[in-house]
Amino acid sequence: MPKTVHFWYHRHFKPLTIHCDFPPERIYTPIPLTQHMSFSRDTDCTVSAPDVSQHTPSAVQSPVPAVLLARIPKPRGDVSRIKRGGYNLHEALGWPSSDYEETRTFVVHLAREHLKVNKSWRSQSKASLTIVYAEAKKRYHILDRYEDNWVFSSKFTLTRHTQAVNVLAVSMHGALLITGGNDSRIVVWSLVSGEMIQELFVPAAGYISAIIWIDFDDHGESAFAFGASDGNIQIYERSNDALFEFRSTTIGHTGAVESLAWDPVHRRLASAGDGLPYVWNLTPDKTLTSVFSQPDKQPYVARTVHFYDNGASLLVSFLESGEIFCYSIEPWDLKWRKKVQGRIGNTALEGNFLLVSNLKDGVDKYAIPALQRVQSYSHIILHNVPLQISVARQAGLIFVGGDDGFARVFDYSSGAYRGQLEHGHRGDRIIPIALHEGRTGCTVVTGSCFNGHSNVKVWEEGESAWQEADVTPPSPSAGTSPTMQLV
């Protein structure tokens, strides 16, 4: 009997834009002021935290106002998890044992007086928590000197992707999360329990490069679309059994889909890739039809798209040229074309402001349509990779991906650096970032763009530090063990 010969067919795709490391700009500029410099890792520019052992907790007012003292950053890792890179709170504070125990005893007393001690910290009312913290800081002023970002802590760690996580999207009501990566996987998660709801494996599509929720109604979790390195756009819709089923595939671009945007007003989807944008009408059978014929192709990477002016216009950014094009959709016409200062790694649209990751020294905020820079969020860049941006207006914060194991947090109004979310190891690229703001606060999601130990972390805003709960399908640990730092 003749042997049966098997042939394996492998498709190869070039790396996505978010995995590219761009060389620095070689344009002559005057020597910047020290306050505008970005120092490399070779330069020792670390700002040492104040020696808290010299400022022990005391009920006596310090002669120096607390707002003038440097904020003390949170140590790397999680409290009490020493074996997992965490820290011991007593050692991290550096207080004498007597002062530490005195402060701890007072905070425990406040908790028993104002809180329901038989319930978790997450179940407490914000009004009661505010009283506890106000009273503690009133007596021990040194508590005011710790960075605001200590209120964020890891809620879940979601592990399923075997390669780099590229994109994240949180549903309208914050109940579901979808993630996509280089392993051709799309995973649907519950943000309530941390459980994996569904996994889609699409190896023929290549790397998952863009993903977005498609909201047909107020439910906000009925369908989603994703683009991949094969240039196609696929749509999945939720069925009666709460799982998502395939609906259509549209041949969109000749290269990877860089960005997707959804307009709920006109039920349109926009995509960017291979130097040009497309706008698609969504038909009742969940297929896409192009609104216009192919526009003029630019010789640059079409990096992002955003619907603007209630869906009447489309903003398109181009990476290398640093240009923003604004098109009217009906009829399709170029309204204006302007250039930002630097290149465009990524963008986020917030009302009449466009935030741009400039691949140079951080993020710039521009007022549109004038495209005038009104604010900057500067940070050191080790690798010129396009970092994603998310804005939490209610919390007054802006979150930016990072290239050294953490995501950065800035004050949205002032541009001041507020702290960081420690996601992974040093050198890890934490590029994708997404968030949701609801009545209970702000939930932030970060993903590691690193092959080998890629994961997704969910962070929750609160008035205490939460211990991390690892979640690994198919039997995730949905429970968390809340704890207050000083209790």
Better-scored residue on pLDDT, 2 or 137: 137
- pLDDT of 12 reads 61
- pLDDT of 427 reads 82
Contact 259, 271 (CB under 8 A): yes
Better-scored residue on pLDDT, 441 or 269: 269
Residue 48 has pLDDT above 80, yes or no: no
How much of the chain, in percent, has pLDDT values that exceed 90?
A: 44
Instruction: Please confirm whether the linkage preceding 331 is cis (ω < 30° from 0).
Output: yes
The 10s digit of each residue's pLDDT in 66-121 is 333 345 666 666 555 555 566 666 677 777 877 777 877 787 778 778 877 656 55
Lowest mean pLDDT among 71-75, 166-170, 196-200, 338-342: 71-75
Contact 19, 164 (CB under 8 A): yes
Residue 412 has pLDDT above 50, yes or no: yes
The average pLDDT across 27-39 equals 31
- pLDDT of 199 reads 96
Residue 3 has pLDDT above 80, yes or no: no
- pLDDT of 148 reads 46
The 10s digit of each residue's pLDDT in 345-356 is 999 999 999 999
Residue 62 has pLDDT above 70, yes or no: no
Residue type, 27: I
Whole-number Cα distances in Å, 138 to 52, 66, 230, 238, 486? 18, 12, 59, 51, 15
The average pLDDT across 239-250 equals 90
- pLDDT of 344 reads 93
Residue 451 has pLDDT above 80, yes or no: no
- pLDDT of 69 reads 39
- Cβ neighbours of 92 (radius 10 Å): 17
Residue 432 has pLDDT above 90, yes or no: yes
In degrees, rounded to 5, the angle at the alpha carbon of residue 93 between the alpha carbons of residues 92 and 98 is 125
Mean pLDDT rounded to a whole number for the chain: 77
* DSSP code of residue 209: E
Contact 251, 231 (CB under 8 A): yes
Residue entry with tokens 């459980």: 195
The 10s digit of each residue's pLDDT in 308-337 is 999 999 999 999 999 999 999 999 999 999
The average pLDDT across 285-314 equals 90
- Cβ neighbours of 50 (radius 10 Å): 15
Residue entry with tokens 């009302």: 351
Better-scored residue on pLDDT, 129 or 385: 385
For residue 456, name the pLDDT band (cuts at 50, 70, 90).
Answer: very high
- pLDDT of 133 reads 74
The 10s digit of each residue's pLDDT in 353-403 is 999 999 989 999 999 999 999 999 999 888 888 999 999 998 899 999 998
- pLDDT of 468 reads 34
Q: Give the Cα separation of 93 and 414 in Å (integer).
A: 28
The average pLDDT across 143-161 equals 68
The average pLDDT across 222-238 equals 94
* Alpha carbon 277 to chain centroid, angstroms: 24
